[in-house]
Amino acid sequence: MTAPKLALNSISMVYSQRGRRFVALRDISLDIEAGEFISLVGASGCGKTTLLRVVDGLVAPTHGEVLVDGARVTRPGPDRGFVFQQDALFPWRTVLNNIIFGLEVQGRAKHEALVRADALVRLVGLGGFEHHYPHELSGGMRQRANLARALTIDPDILLMDEPFAALDAQTREIMQAELLRIWRSDRKTVMFVTHQIDEAVYLADRVVVMTSRPGQIKAVLDVDIPRPRDLSVKRTPRFLELVDAIWKMIEEEVKAALRITDDDREVTSRPIATY
């Protein structure tokens, strides 16, 4: 087997807040192959986003290291692209100028940047909206632009932090299908953080389930559903089985975190309610 594209070696993250130590991540190790799509799920506050920020190099881990192609990550780099959760498009830039931002800070020629941006605008289906400002776009279009902006620098690894969380159910499904299409054509390595378990299973080759505080890896599940997948996959028995298994694991975690007794089981038996 070849060396992994992305290696997380026993990563821990400890914060001290008002004199108290707070362990956000404990001893996380994971190898990710080139072109692999990994989803990260876990209860709120389990450190999924923190882990993604560590991989991007936005924060340094307290212990452990992240290796990209064997090289240690110390800061953000052009081999990784981050798609933010919230609306992180620059409101003072048009769609096109948002998309070329990555190339602009790298000091590439404007002409080259525009050619690249133009191709991306079409890839994510934003043709005709290049000169609109983010506030003039719908939530779905903004996330398309957000994705295009991360893709401009042509990163090998895409780090996506709940990019579709703010979208309505329909738009989210469309965006999931679009993401798979783009991933198929580009074969990026993807780490995708989400709250939505069905989204995690639908997209990923492997789903990483994290424990609640401190965030540790609880289980890694192989999603053995053949690709290309379309939305009908979501109704197959195997899909539902996987979703159910993950629900149960997360429910355990949430209950452990809240110290809920068995008497309360009725109330919490639908995990969706705990989110």
Partner 1 sequence: MADVAIPLDLEREEHESATTRFFRTHASTLRGAFSLLVVAAVWEIAGRTGRWPLILAPISDIWLKFLQLAASGELLRHVLVSLNEFIVGFAMAAVFGVVLGIVIASSQTAKDVIDPWVSAVYATPTVALAPLFIFVFGIDAPSKMAVVFLLAVFPIVINTATGMTSTDRVYIEAARSFSANRMQIFTKVLIPSALPFIVAGLRLGIGRGLVGVVVGEFIGARAGLGYLIFKSSQGFQIDAMWVGVFLLAGTGVLAVSILQRVERRMAPWRQFELK
* CB nearer partner 1, residue 52 or residue 209: 52
Least distance from partner 1 to the Cβ atom of residue 74, Å = 12
Kindly tell me which residue out of 136, 230, 244, 264 binds partner 1, with binding defined by CB under 8 A. 136
CA distance 89 to 6: 27
Number of residues that bind partner 1 (CB under 8 A): 34
DSSP string, 75-140: S--TTEEEE-SS--S-TTS-HHHHHTHHHHHTT--HHHHHHHHHHHHHHTT-TT-TT--GGGS-HH
Query: Scanning the structure block, which residue is given the tokens 């506050």?
Result: 45
* CB nearer partner 1, residue 114 or residue 174: 174
Q: Does 140 bind partner 1 (CB under 8 A)?
A: yes
* CB nearer partner 1, residue 21 or residue 75: 75
By CB under 8 A, the residues from 71 to 100 that bind partner 1 are 75-78, 80-82, 84, 86-88, 90-93
Least distance from partner 1 to the Cβ atom of residue 56, Å = 6
Kindly tell me which residue out of 30, 123, 151, 153 binds partner 1, with binding defined by CB under 8 A. 153
Close Cβ partners of 82 (under 8 Å, ≥ 6 residues apart): 52, 56, 58, 76, 150, 159, 160, 161
Mark the segment that binds partner 1 (CB under 8 A) among 7-15, 108-116, 126-134, 258-266.
126-134
Q: Does 135 bind partner 1 (CB under 8 A)?
A: yes
By CB under 8 A, the residues from 165 to 224 that bind partner 1 are 171, 174
Least distance from partner 1 to the Cβ atom of residue 38, Å = 19
Mark the segment that binds partner 1 (CB under 8 A) among 136-144, 184-192, 238-246, 247-255.
136-144
Q: Does 133 bind partner 1 (CB under 8 A)?
A: yes
By CB under 8 A, the residues from 102 to 121 that bind partner 1 are 102, 104-106
Rounded CA Rg of the chain? 19
CA distance 114 to 96: 8
DSSP string, 11-80: EEEEEEETTEEEEEEEEEEEEE-TT-EEEEEESTTSSHHHHHHHHHTSS--SEEEEEETTEEP-S--TTE
CA distance 78 to 219: 30
Residue 159 to residues 19, 163, 236, 238, Cα–Cα distance (Å): 32, 10, 28, 27
Kindly tell me which residue out of 42, 61, 134, 271 binds partner 1, with binding defined by CB under 8 A. 134
Note the residues at the interface with partner 1 (CB under 8 A).
Answer: 56, 58, 75-78, 80-82, 84, 86-88, 90-93, 101-102, 104-106, 129, 133-138, 140-141, 153, 171, 174
